[in-house]
Amino acid sequence: MKKNLLIAVMLAAAPVHAQQTGADHAAHHPAPVASAAKSALSDGEVRKVDHDAKKITLRHGPIANLDMPPMTMVFQVRNPALLQQVKAGDKIRFSAEKIGGAYVVTGIENTRK
């Protein structure tokens, strides 16, 4: 009887390997979804352009892909040529990412010059 009890305990503790269907597997590991938020544009107003430092100060609305609320802050720019498109007071739509610990503007659309 002790032998049967020992076998029952060992079987209960043993891992169960069930065959997963494709649907079961996908439920546990969903496929990556192309992030619309990553490419989404946020609204902003240019407060200052610093060509020498390659930075731009923006008063912006929420930035969804960065989970950032509206505020005014300084961003680096990925491509300094972006700064040639804007001046203080311009209304813009822009994309930003966190790269190497810094917030970086990666694209700008000027909506009012």
User: What confidence score (pLDDT) does residue 11 get?
Assistant: 58
Q: What is the CATH number of the domain that holds 75?
A: 2.40.50.320
Q: Into how many domains does the chain fold? A: 1
pLDDT at 8: 57
- Burial class of residue 51 (count of CB atoms within 10 Å of its CB; 0-12, 13-18, 19+): exposed
In a domain, 79, yes or no: yes
| 2 occurs within a structural domain | no
Asked if 86 and 32 touch (Cβ cutoff 8 Å), the reply is no
Q: Does the residue 24 lie in any domain?
A: no
Please, what is the average pLDDT of the chain?
80
Provide the domain limits for residue 78: 37-112
**Does residue 14 fall inside a structural domain?**
no
Is residue 63 predicted with pLDDT exceeding 60? Answer: yes
Residue 95 lies in a domain: yes
CB 73 within 8 A of CB 50: no
